[in-house]
Structure 1
């Protein structure tokens, strides 16, 4: 989207994410244009300033060499900010120490210290500005007796205050730019972290969906395959029924897996089929019956938001799958109720347990807890005092902003 907006004439990327000099990585291009413009401005401006200051030394070849050298150093200001900052200060000190006219000679110093500050070299920028002001104080109030022009006098302290104000202004603007650069860097890092978090949440959601779909269907297929093998010779007709159930379960599993994977298409596309909800509980009961499990339904589900409806269906599906895989009971009860703004699901079986992980240490129960927690609900799973097993889910009926956005 950003690329299209830039190509289509929209606002540039740094308008939203910060200017190019705020990037952490060093730029790959040399700042030729800005350096040439600054050099020309300093040369022309110093020439005009010299005409207005007849008491100073006229510009000569040495003065122009200093002006060009101080400005040309800006070409390396992004790669060597410390050296350029002190280099421009040295050129400026030699310039006004030789008695030449005041003018835009301090502009390269300002740009060099600005670049050093926004690059994070605060000590170098402050040290260079401090050295410039100290050198100016020495020249303007002590060394002027031995330096050109002859018969020079000390600079008024009011003008010295103006120079100090100029130095502080450079530092303040540079610090503000550095602060903005750091802020933009933090915002970029936060956006990247949020994008990674959303990607992790989406991968986790996909993993839960695939686990719930495949675990239930493969459990039914496994049970029916065992029945078919056992009755293949003694009762071919019953074996045929088991194979028919396997075919139906595998077809449904493939359809649901395809539906889950369809969500990986281009963002914004509508799903090809609605997500399953509690209205499909009769199909779930029929599938459980084909695996030899009798399920009794109690209660009527209320109108649910899509995310809560899907989570409730997956909780019941996973609970019945665990009964088929890990319980010796062939009967389960599903109770649906709602009160105090919450949906309550209770799935019971009479046991006994036949597996080693009936206490809830498997990925299925962990996935159910993650689903419930994402909606602000809870899952409780554990053995009952009479020897059976119970899964109790409490899901809020109110749509949260996070669920609604999803």
Structure 2
């Protein structure tokens, strides 16, 4: 038994209400948390108040050393009310009952039970609080209604049931206030947890947004660089001029990618700051077409987009960018078509290529389609991607022209 331990480092009997009662390793930390000042002030109030109360109760036993000892014990136990609320609740009730059974006058000693009960309820030990107060009330009723004949002071008389009703009312009031404090404290804890969870959700959403942006920027630019690097290596000896053109394209694509990555990273360094450059939108489709052409892909644009909200404009641009990147990386077709259509409610995008799929490992992360779906879903839209009946691949996106936030 001497070597047995429970969680928290205390001896076996520590299971009663948490960490062990006398754990040397916990004593310094526990001492730092004990309410020394409030307990000392309360003890002084109880002892002084009891001396004043003794003057008005001439029929009760005068305060002596034993009475003062009981008052000090009942009040001093409150020093451990935060770490051992169950023990303190029952200890103060038993000490107060012993004080009253000895015939000493009524006084503020009953407040020690109220404070210990309050602490136990707020700490979540409701049964202990109700049990200790019930023990004190039942013991007090037994003394004043029956045992008073054999207990001091001599010649004491029985108490009336009306007085017991008044005491019961005070007991219920103390318990009610304690329960209200417990409920309020639980509400505060719940609100703090909800705020922390909301902050975590916002942080997760921001990380996801940044990851999407970095993926879309890097996947497209690196795909163009990869294709042009292959062209440059193949033509380095036979056609140096064409190889020079490929290297120029690589330089331009890498410069653009660095600029967009820097813009995303700037938002991390200065949260809430306005971006130095506007977010890309469908007005930059000609740049996408030019970049795709440098990678050997001819892109045909059909239709024109309306004026879009910034979030929808960025999502539409990234969806088209990712779709064209997938054509460059995964399709054997060197021709793609982008169709833009809209009505009052939604913008419809469609990107087609004739295939077939190359089946080669393009080195991607596989998150492109998932990122497109997340972008569309964040705006209340949808993405449909899959093979066409006549061969090739098609990506269709529907983006509402009014976002969820604008509808609220």
TM-score w.r.t. length of structure 2: 0.89
Q: Select the residue among 142, 151, 154 that pairs with 1:150.
A: 154
Which position in structure 1 is the counterpart of 2:375?
371
2-structure distance, mates of 1:386, 1:362:
25
2-structure distance, mates of 1:52, 1:229:
107
Which position in structure 2 is the counterpart of 1:20?
none
Which position in structure 1 is the counterpart of 2:342?
338
Q: Select the residue among 177, 180, 198 that pairs with 2:202.
A: 198
1-structure distance, mates of 2:56, 2:73:
24
2-structure distance, mates of 1:356, 1:126:
73
CA gap 1:400/1:357 in 2 versus in 1, 3 angstroms:
farther
Which position in structure 1 is the counterpart of 2:98?
94
- How far 1:60 moved relative to its partner? 1.7
Flag the structure with more relative contact order, 1 or 2, with Cα contacts below 8 A and sequence separation at least 6.
1
1:173 aligns with 2:180: no
2-structure distance, mates of 1:268, 1:393:
30
Instruction: List aligned pairs for 1:270-309, cutoff 5 A.
Output: 270-309=274-313
CA contact (8 A) 2:344 2:401 kept: no
1:223 aligns with 2:223: no
CA gap 1:336/1:28 in 2 versus in 1, 3 angstroms:
farther
CA gap 1:193/1:330 in 2 versus in 1, 3 angstroms:
same
TM-score w.r.t. length of structure 1: 0.90
Which position in structure 1 is the counterpart of 2:259?
255
2-structure distance, mates of 1:361, 1:83:
59
**How many residues align structurally?**
379
2-structure distance, mates of 1:91, 1:293:
90
Which position in structure 1 is the counterpart of 2:6?
none
2-structure distance, mates of 1:402, 1:62:
75
Which position in structure 2 is the counterpart of 1:136?
140
1:111 aligns with 2:88: no
CA gap 1:403/1:189 in 2 versus in 1, 3 angstroms:
farther
Q: Select the residue among 16, 34, 40 that pairs with 1:36.
A: 40
- How far 1:303 moved relative to its partner? 1.2
1-structure distance, mates of 2:361, 2:235:
29
Instruction: List aligned pairs for 1:373-392, cutoff 5 A.
Output: 373-392=377-396
List, as ranges, runs of 4+ consecutive aligned residues in structure 1 with deviation greater than 4 Å.
Answer: 25-28
Q: What secondary structure, in the 3-state scheme, does the structure 2 residue paired with 1:263 have? A: helix
Q: What secondary structure, in the 3-state scheme, does the structure 1 residue paired with 2:271 have? A: coil
- How far 1:267 moved relative to its partner? 2.2
CA gap 1:361/1:231 in 2 versus in 1, 3 angstroms:
closer
CA RMSD of aligned residues (A): 2.0
Q: Select the residue among 45, 52, 59 that pairs with 2:49.
A: 45
2-structure distance, mates of 1:130, 1:177:
20
CA gap 1:361/1:269 in 2 versus in 1, 3 angstroms:
closer
Q: Select the residue among 240, 253, 263 that pairs with 2:244.
A: 240
CA contact (8 A) 2:380 2:403 kept: no
- Could you give the per-residue CA deviations for residues 344-383 of structure 1, whole angstroms, max 9, x where no partner exists? 111111111112689x993111110111111111000011
- Which structure 2 segments of 5+ residues have no match? 1-28
CA gap 1:383/1:356 in 2 versus in 1, 3 angstroms:
farther
CA contact (8 A) 1:307 1:403 kept: no
Which position in structure 2 is the counterpart of 1:15?
none
- Which structure 1 segments of 5+ residues have no match? 1-24
